[in-house]
């Protein structure tokens, strides 16, 4: 009757449980930094998208000062119309074909 009690006591105080706790604590620590890293990149992308549109207005102003309103308007109209129409026409033709 004396032998049975000792085994349960040894089984009740095993070292595996404590080591598992520290491992779990270390696991959650690394994930937070990784989660914090992704959020910053997304907001930076939208900012970059707004950056390109900003330069065009500056170019238009420069053209206005360099060539004048007429030259700027003609260039913008010719460049913008053909590109938009050509793209639309090409797309329509491709879809029809």
Residue-wise pLDDT tens digits, 2-11:
555 555 555 5
The answer to whether 64 and 72 have CB atoms below 8 angstroms apart is: yes
**Angle, vertex CA 39, rays to CA 35 and CA 44, nearest 5:** 150
Place of tokens 């937070």: 32
At 48-67, the pLDDT tens digits run: 545 444 444 444 454 445 55
Joined together, the tokens standing for residue 14 give 């095993």
User: What is the overall mean pLDDT for the chain?
Assistant: 50
Q: CA angle 65-70-73, nearest 5°?
A: 90
């Amino acid at each position: 009757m004396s032998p049975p009690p000792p085994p349960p006591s040894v089984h009740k105080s095993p070292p595996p449980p404590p080591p598992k706790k520290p491992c779990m604590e270390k696991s959650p620590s690394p994930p937070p930094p990784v989660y914090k890293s992704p959020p910053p990149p997304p907001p930076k992308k939208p900012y970059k998208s707004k950056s390109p549109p900003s330069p065009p207005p500056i170019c238009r102003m420069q053209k206005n000062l360099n060539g004048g309103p007429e030259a700027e308007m003609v260039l913008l109209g010719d460049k913008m119309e053909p590109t938009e129409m050509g793209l639309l026409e090409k797309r329509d033709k491709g879809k029809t074909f």
